[in-house]
Amino acid sequence: MATIRDRAPGPAGSGLNDDIGEQKRLALYRSQVRLREAEQRAFDLFLQNLVKGTSHLSLGQEAIAAGFAEAMVKGDLSFCTYRGHAHTLARGVPVEKVLGELMQRDNGLMRGKGGSMHLTSEEHGVMGSYAIIGAHLPIACGAAWRAQYKGDKDVSVCFFGDGTTNIGAFHEALNFAAVWKLPVIFVCENNLYMEYTPIGDVTAVPHPAADRASAYGLERIVIDGNDADECYRTAQKAFAKARAGAGPSLIECMTYRHSGHSRADPAKYRPEGELERWKLRDPIKIYRERLKQFGVSDAAIEAIDASVRKEVDDATEACKAAPPPPLDILTTDVYADGGWAWRN
Amino acid sequence: MPELSYRDAVVRGIAQEMARDPDVVFLGEDVAKAGGVFKATVGLYEQFGPLRVRDTPISEQAILGAAMGAAMTGLKPIAEIMFSDFFAVCFDYIANEFPKSRYMSNGQTKCPLVVRTGNGAGSRFGAQHSQSVENWCMMIPGLKVVAPSTPRDVIGLLAAAVRDPDPVIFLEHKSLYATKGEVPDGEIVDTLGTAKIVRPGKDCTIIALALMVSRALEAAEKLKAEHGIDCEVIDVRSLVPLDTQTILGSVAKTHRLFSVEENPRLCGWGAEIVSIVADEAFYDLDGPPVRITTPHIPLPAADILEDIVLPTPGRIVDTVRRSLGS
Ligand SMILES: Cc1ncc(C[n+]2csc(CCOP(=O)(O)OP(=O)(O)O)c2C)c(N)n1
Ligand SMILES: [Mg+2]
């Protein structure tokens, strides 16, 4: 039987279909480069011992975050995992806020109270990053239920990994969303590994998300997660379906992470050559070439790269200069009254 | 005053809040068309319709997760977990998600929801449908934990829980559903974090919760009549927030403390209160605080066995009498 690894998508051959348009295409490119630069910087800062705790990078998986976020409108909600920096940034959260949280500074998104695995920015529609595998799928259902109940038009989008398809909450949420016809989109980023174990070694079907879709009456969807255009187009369709009241979608995006699972992981378990093969299909490389096919000049591409680098450089300097959080926030916001009192 | 059962008080409490606020929605297994396995939600589906009173699949994680997502984004859900023992299959939401999202997000995330559940022993259901899990919840910062003992408190505390901006675990005692009590007409809204002195006395303080309150009261009457011991009985009602002032005030007056707890011995809620009293009122005490609990065993099913493991009025009388040396 073919393993998932054999099924890695082939070279992008999407031709010159200009349904996306130059403005959106440039936004998709810019977003991917921004995620790449910010996370590469996070890794460098970790090597300098300036990023503390753990961190889980999405290097190599940027097309999914960019493609889906560019298809969202204000008010749509993102629910992310601990591997959530890219999804958070893709909704427009400033790089400084994310790096500040990773560096545990007072300028961080949650002033150091949450850390890298829990990035949250409700004003940008980022409704939290969840570190218990599967927990946020039912939560996204609840947000979608509220939209359905109140007649709001927003859609909830829930991102998770291939490993998450084997936990109970995944199956509970899919059935629940399908039965209640909720406006929620489940996006599985299949990067071929759970933590260190290949997903094929522990899953009964080749496509851990898509091959379960039929159990919940949903369409089987597998896409090239390294092609931002394909992610964007698929997202648009799923949003239209959700907004029309036609219920949830489950989308499996094939991709690969360039780094280890977390900062502590050198990823020695990968077979030789696998990373190199996937790097040939680096989403940013693919996209840069596509822009050129569409006639975008080298200078225009370099201008985007330079402006992104400046944002990341400025953010880095701001974070290095920022103080650690003050001790008095230790006991704030345990309860809604702002404090932590549990007795009189 | 008109009488109402504890079971019907649940219906009235939920209905009172749903009628007041269209953002209050209710979900759980068999709660809508069937009216609940304990018949404690009968009529709500008919009164409020299928959009607000919703039957779910047997998916405890989906129930609590959906309640949380709805609460975060503007609704005020009431979720039912049929038996509190089932908290163990959805404990992630109770332990990790509801109570920590506000803190981790530096105050961005809200979670105004209520989880109602059937708690406690006495139905001969055995070890997985009879537990008292209030101590599982009390230990988690960010939650509020309430356990009413009377129909009137069911309505008042449920209303307070629904109106509270924090996640509240609302523990209904299964053995109390059929009991009756006086309930005034009209809206009833109580206050979380308030204990109630249900029998004033001067010789010792007995603190109790839910089903144990009536047993403590029965014991107190016996102690007075047969041994001349005048007990003050406090219905703790709310474990978080905890009304320590009422308890400390009582101990300052009686100088002795007894807890009557249905949860098993280790880390029961009474242990925490005893430790507070030991810290803050040690010199008010004339003797050691005494905990009366179920033994540290799983609950047995047979009536003859279950009846002797739960604290009984007889065991409370004996323990108090021996401790006070009379
Ligand atoms: C309930 C639970 N079990 C285990 C873990 C430990 N853990 C953290 S990430 C991870 C792998 C998840 O794999 P996948 O869903 O494929 O996501 P990826 O990390 O590849 O993005 C595991 C097992 C956890 N956080 N929560
Ligand atoms: Mg994975």
Beta-carbon contacts of residue B325 (< 8 Å; ≥ 6 apart): none
| CB contacts, 8 Å: B244 with chain A | 343-344
In this structure, how many other beta carbons lie within 10 angstroms of the beta carbon of residue A211? 16
Cβ <8 Å between A122 and B57 = no
In angstroms and rounded to an integer, the radius of gyration of the C-alpha atoms of chain A is 20
DSSP string, B258-324: EEEEEEESTT-HHHHHHHHHHHHSGGG-SS--EEEEE-SSPPPSSHHHHHHHS--HHHHHHHHHHHT
Cross-chain residue pair A138–B61, CB shorter than 8 Å? yes
Q: How many whole angstroms separate alpha carbon B222 and alpha carbon A57?
A: 67
**Could you identify the atom of ligand 1 that is nearest to the CA of residue A58?**
21
Q: How far is CA A272 from CA A8, A11, A59, A78, A202, in A?
A: 16, 20, 19, 35, 21
Domain A23-316, CATH class in plain words: alpha beta
DSSP 8-class letter at A86: H
Give the active site residues of B: 129
pLDDT at residue A9, rounded to an integer: 39
- Which residues does chain A have within 8 Å of residue B103's beta carbon, measured at their own beta carbons? 113, 333-334
Phi/psi for B135 (5° steps) reads -75, -25
Block means of pLDDT (10 residues each) for chain A, 344 residues, are: 36 64 96 98 96 94 98 98 98 98 98 98 98 98 98 98 98 98 99 97 98 98 98 98 98 97 91 97 98 96 98 98 98 98 98
- pTM, entire model: 0.97
The helix/strand/coil state of A38 is helix
Nearest-angstrom CA–CA distance, A230 and A322: 39
- Inspect the interface and report whether the beta carbons of A142 and B74 lie closer than 8 Å: no
Domain locations along chain A: 23-316
The predicted complex's ipTM stands at 0.97
How are beta strands B196-199 and A184-190 bridged, if at all? unpaired
Pocket residues for ligand 1 (CB within 6 Å)? A 83, 131-133, 160-164, 189, 191, 193-195, 261
Q: Is A3 within 8 Å of A200 (Cβ atoms)?
A: yes
Range B3-182 has CATH code 3.30.720.200: no
Candidate from A4, A194, A270 with most ligand 1 atoms within 8 A of CB, to mutate: A194
pLDDT value at position A264? 84
Spell out the per-residue pLDDT of chain B, length 326, in tens.
899 999 999 999 999 999 999 999 999 999 999 999 999 999 999 999 999 999 999 999 999 999 999 999 999 999 999 999 999 999 999 999 999 999 999 999 999 999 999 999 999 999 999 999 999 999 999 999 999 999 999 999 999 999 999 999 999 999 999 999 999 999 999 999 999 999 999 999 999 999 999 999 999 999 999 999 999 999 999 999 999 999 999 999 999 999 999 999 999 999 999 999 999 999 999 999 999 999 999 999 999 999 999 999 999 999 999 999 87
Whole-number pLDDT of residue A6: 36
* Domains B3-182 and B196-323 agree in fold: yes
- CB-CB contact of B24 with B162 (8 Å): yes
Query: Helices in chain B by DSSP H: which ranges?
Result: 6-20, 44-48, 60-72, 91-92, 101-104, 134-138, 151-163, 211-227, 244-254, 269-280, 303-309, 313-323
At residue B1, the pLDDT reads 87
Q: Where are the domains of chain B?
A: 3-182, 196-323
Question: What number of residues does chain B have?
Answer: 326
A319 CA distance to ligand 1 centroid (A)?
29
Task: State residue A263's pLDDT score.
Answer: 85
CATH number of B196-323: 3.40.50.920
Task: Look at the alpha carbons of A235, A241, A242, A248 in this order and tell me if their dihedral is positive or negative.
Answer: negative
